Chain A
């Protein structure tokens, strides 16, 4: 009995603390039923407590999917301008594993709205992000830009995108989209400035493309530097 009493006391203490932790901690992840599971791979990351790493791996698969050329894509087509029908699903798979990976939401929504011209899907992704993290105001900023695009208010859209690219966590994809919009609208100088910013940025995957764009725009502006 002398041995049993401390064990019983510890058992009650464990149950009490477990109850306290459960009540105090509001678990913010989507439930299992909402997850888009990829053949048990994602489930195993949950089972072993590696949710964040699972989201990282899912994110890499988004980049590989969107970075690879589609079968029907013709030579000379702009990067990422195919159909990519699974982009929304893959982005949601990533952000449902880890909703704090805001970069994935911004990237997926930006690509869908401005590159693939599917703003409805982009809005769905952003609305899900807003419902989970309403305090992260950059989602609202992107949503505003997409809504302006839908309504054909391009000046307002450009104004919001200019705001978006000021922040260090803005995906390079968005910068390249804005640079292309300026190029199409004839604002070659601003387009060049943004491409130079992209070239000097951290994302090495854009180095070659930005270098080509800079050369092209310099010729257009007749700048010899």
Chain B
């Protein structure tokens, strides 16, 4: 399993990750020049916000695309047979591929954060609210971790990268809109419909609650309890999605 994870990590890094890092560098440079002119006294806040969003979205895109194509490409080229005919169980194979991809995404995040911090320090940031900055990065990675496990499940379940990508991004948007669903529950009169929406509300991933970047004020007061709850939630949801992916993968005939 570790060998598979290591192979996956190296192959991702050789092939695609650097393109994302170059793109991130360009976004940061362009943003720093533009925001310096436009934002007057709020330049640092905007640079922090833009950097955090850029890190999250580029990590999301990288991870989801890698995860969706992870097995589908091997299934199409039939190279998956070579591995599965060896003494490697399907569970070990899937976990190795999953963790290898997440590790490469994580290293990508670390490089982007370093570049972002260098820019912020050059612009005079003295790590005010530094804890919240790092919490935002951490919870962003949790969101990517969670959605990646869902992307893996959708890719195995649907056997089509278009369908898997559509479902994944649908869940991403829905997860950020969970609060509006809660609002809808309160306004619905029909008890049966209310119950149904309530179940749906608890089953969709609550990305909005993992969004320390947007919940900056709330996290500054209760960062420890919110981070612990968020992490437990991410781990259990990801384990569920991975478990479902494994369940389908074991039943799959190649």
A interface with B by C-beta (< 8 Å): 3, 6-7, 10-11, 13-15, 17-22, 24-28, 31-32, 46-53, 56, 59-60, 63-64, 98, 100-101, 103, 171-172, 202-205
Segment touching A, from B18-26, B46-54, B76-84, B109-117: B46-54
A202: contacting residue among B41, B172, B215, B244, CB under 8 A: B41
CB distance from A87 to the nearest CB of B (A): 16
Q: Is the CB of B41 within 8 A of A203?
A: yes
**B-chain residues with CB within 8 Å of residue A13 when the two chains form the complex:** 236, 240
The size bracket of the interface on B is: 35 or more
Q: How far is the CA of A53 from the CA of B57 in the complex (A)?
A: 13
CB distance from A42 to the nearest CB of B (A): 13
**A-chain residues with CB within 8 Å of residue B233 when the two chains form the complex:** 14, 17-18, 21
Q: How far is the CA of A28 from the CA of B183 in the complex (A)?
A: 13
Cβ-closest chain A residue relative to B51: A53
CB distance from B250 to the nearest CB of A (A): 8
**A-chain residues with CB within 8 Å of residue B42 when the two chains form the complex:** 56, 59, 103
Residue of B143, B172, B233 with highest tally of chain A CB at under 10 A: B233
Q: How far is the CA of A24 from the CA of B206 in the complex (A)?
A: 14
Q: Is the CB of B41 within 8 A of A53?
A: no
Interface string of B193-237 (1 = CB under 8 A from A): 000000001110011110101111110000001100110110011
Q: Is the CB of B211 within 8 A of A63?
A: no
Q: Given A14-B236, A14-B240, A47-B176, check contact A100 B216 (CB 8 Å).
A: yes
Q: Is B16 an interface residue (CB 8 A)?
A: no
Q: Is the CB of A48 within 8 A of B173?
A: yes
B214: contacting residue among A25, A51, A59, A172, CB under 8 A: A51
CB distance from A48 to the nearest CB of B (A): 6
CB distance from A181 to the nearest CB of B (A): 21
**A-chain residues with CB within 8 Å of residue B7 when the two chains form the complex:** none
Q: Is the CB of B239 within 8 A of A10?
A: yes
Q: Is the CB of B49 within 8 A of A56?
A: yes
Q: Is the CB of B236 within 8 A of A52?
A: no
**A-chain residues with CB within 8 Å of residue B172 when the two chains form the complex:** 48
CB distance from A57 to the nearest CB of B (A): 9
CB distance from A215 to the nearest CB of B (A): 23
B interface with A by C-beta (< 8 Å): 38-42, 45-46, 49-50, 53, 56-57, 143, 172-173, 176-177, 179-180, 182-183, 201-203, 206-209, 211, 213-218, 225-226, 229-230, 232-233, 236-237, 239-240, 243-244, 247, 250
Q: Is the CB of B202 within 8 A of A6?
A: no
**A-chain residues with CB within 8 Å of residue B41 when the two chains form the complex:** 103, 171-172, 202-203
Q: How far is the CA of A10 from the CA of B176 in the complex (A)?
A: 22
Q: Is the CB of B230 within 8 A of A21?
A: yes
Q: Is the CB of A7 within 8 A of B240?
A: yes
Q: How far is the CA of A20 from the CA of B233 in the complex (A)?
A: 10
Cβ-closest chain A residue relative to B143: A49
Q: Given A7-B243, A56-B45, check contact A17 B232 (CB 8 Å).
A: yes
Q: Is the CB of B240 within 8 A of A20?
A: no
Q: Is the CB of A52 within 8 A of B213?
A: yes
Cβ-closest chain A residue relative to B243: A7
**A-chain residues with CB within 8 Å of residue B173 when the two chains form the complex:** 47-48
What would 30 A/B residue contacts be, using CB atoms closer than 8 Å? A10-B240, A11-B203, A13-B236, A14-B233, A14-B236, A14-B237, A17-B232, A18-B233, A21-B209, A24-B226, A25-B226, A26-B218, A28-B217, A32-B183, A46-B176, A46-B177, A48-B173, A49-B207, A49-B213, A49-B214, A51-B211, A52-B214, A59-B42, A60-B38, A63-B38, A63-B39, A100-B217, A172-B40, A202-B41, A203-B40
Q: How far is the CA of A171 from the CA of B40 in the complex (A)?
A: 10
**B-chain residues with CB within 8 Å of residue A51 when the two chains form the complex:** 211, 214
Q: Please give 10 more A-B residue pairs, beta carbons under 8 A apart, in addition to A53-B49, A100-B216.
A: A13-B236, A14-B237, A17-B229, A18-B201, A22-B182, A22-B206, A25-B218, A31-B183, A49-B214, A50-B53
